[in-house]
Structure formats: C-alpha cells, structure tokens
Amino acid sequence: RIEDENDNYPIFTETTYVFTVSENCRVGSTVGQVCATDKDEPDTMHTRLKYSIIEQLPAYPTLFSMHPTTGV
C-alpha cells in the first residue's frame, strides 16, 4: 500500500490575522476566521487541517475559542 507523505506545510491565506472586537460584542459572536490549505494528496489525513489557539493575551483560557475544523 502506498500512502502520501506529509511533506507540505499548511499555507495560510494571511501571514498574520488581526481581529477587532467591539466593546459591546455579545458572548458567542464570531470575530474572525482563519483559513489554510495543504498541498498534500487530497482527501488524506495529511490535508485534514485542525485549527487551535496556541496563545491568548491576556491569558484567559476561555476568552476566545476556535472551531477545530472551520477556523471560526
């Protein structure tokens, strides 16, 4: 069985993402979305991207969240 090698890094549509949150924004509102693609063989485990927040400043663990498959 031949499988695709994970030899391509995901490429994000932006180098840096900056989102602005208004002071009166409701809890649960969408403030932005990140997006990336991967050039490995389509429909393999190597092209299934999983998004996550690595660091939040200030460091409140539940201040923001991100859906792992949509990047919202």
Domains of the chain, residue spans: 1-72
Contact of 27 with 62, CB cutoff 8 Å: no
Per-residue pLDDT in tens (0 to 9) along the chain, 72 residues: 777 778 888 999 999 988 888 999 998 999 999 999 888 887 777 778 899 988 888 888 778 899 999 999
The domain over range 1-72 is classified in CATH as 2.60.40.60: yes
Contact of 11 with 49, CB cutoff 8 Å: no
- As a whole number of angstroms, the distance between CA 68 and CA 55 comes to 15
Q: Which residues contact 25 (CB under 8 A, 6 or more apart)?
A: 31
